[in-house]
Amino acid sequence: MTSAIPGFFQGTDMPTTGWWEVLWPDPASVLSATGVKRGMDVIDLCSGDGWFTLQIAKVARHVIAIDIDADLLEVARRRLTENGMTNCDFVAGDAYELARLASRPVDFVFMANAFHGVPNRPRLAHAVHTTLGQAGRFAIVNWHQTPREKTIVMGEPRGPKTELRLSPEQTIVAVESSGLKLAELVEVPPYHYGAVFEKSTA
Ligand SMILES: C[S@@+](CC[C@H](N)C(=O)[O-])C[C@H]1O[C@@H](n2cnc3c(N)ncnc32)[C@H](O)[C@@H]1O
């Protein structure tokens, strides 16, 4: 049970039943919607089994996949190796320790399907702020605050409990406390939104 790992964020277990690929048939489109661009240095924070990491690696100069679950990182490593990717590092650790885990500033931090479970969101946002280079961006992809019984994939309600889901406004307030500023809010159909924040260039 991965959620037995100390520090594991609530309601962020990686789904194992195959519905993830059905919900996210085109992960590359999520990256372009949130602004991952060719040549960037990117961190995939809470990267899970690498479903998004692989697509990031295809466009980025370099990607660091960070997850607290070392077994999932191995699955991600295998996925990227099988696809011939060599521009990725895999780092096991707690997302709060991001500033220590990343060896240098990056252009972009991508975090999908995990921010809802973070107990101290301003702390996490502060760690991201520290890790971003000038004008760096932080994209959070979250489930909308739709009741769980209405987010159906393959005939069943999916995703975190309704009470864990965050509105865009709740996400923005938590992240902006770190000094990052909202740059864009995008829809990621059918059930998600992307909130993209930027580090001030001043
Ligand atoms: C629902 S999965 C999403 C994985 C991936 N981002 C995606 O969307 O396909 C959430 C991930 O967050 C990871 N996680 C949970 N708590 C964490 C923590 N404190 N630090 C880093 N990763 C964590 C879990 O191990 C899991 O792989």
Cα of 46 vs centre of ligand 1, distance in Å, is 4
pLDDT computed for residue 202 by the predictor: 66
Which is nearest to 67 in space by CA: 119, 108, 113, 21?
A: 113
Of 53, 67, 153, which is best to mutate to test ligand 1, by the most ligand atoms within 8 angstroms of its C-beta?
Answer: 67
Q: Is the Cβ atom of 14 under 6 angstroms away from ligand 1?
A: yes
pLDDT computed for residue 110 by the predictor: 98
Residue 16 — pLDDT band, cuts 50, 70, 90?
confident
Q: CA 198, CA 117: separation in Å to the nearest integer?
A: 22
Is the per-residue pLDDT at 3 higher than 70? no
pLDDT computed for residue 200 by the predictor: 84
Q: CA 40, CA 63: separation in Å to the nearest integer?
A: 8
Cα of 10 vs centre of ligand 1, distance in Å, is 10
Give the chain's length: 202
Q: CA 188, CA 96: separation in Å to the nearest integer?
A: 26
Q: In the CATH scheme, what is the code of domain 29-198? A: 3.40.50.150
Phi, then psi, of 110 in degrees rounded to 5: -110, 130
pTM (2 d.p.): 0.97
pLDDT in tens, 122-180: 999 999 999 999 999 999 999 999 999 999 999 999 999 999 999 999 999 999 999 99
Cα of 57 vs centre of ligand 1, distance in Å, is 18
Q: CA 120, CA 128: separation in Å to the nearest integer?
A: 13
Q: Name the token pair of 201.
A: 């260039």
pLDDT in tens, 72-128: 999 999 999 999 999 999 999 999 999 999 989 999 999 999 999 999 999 999 999
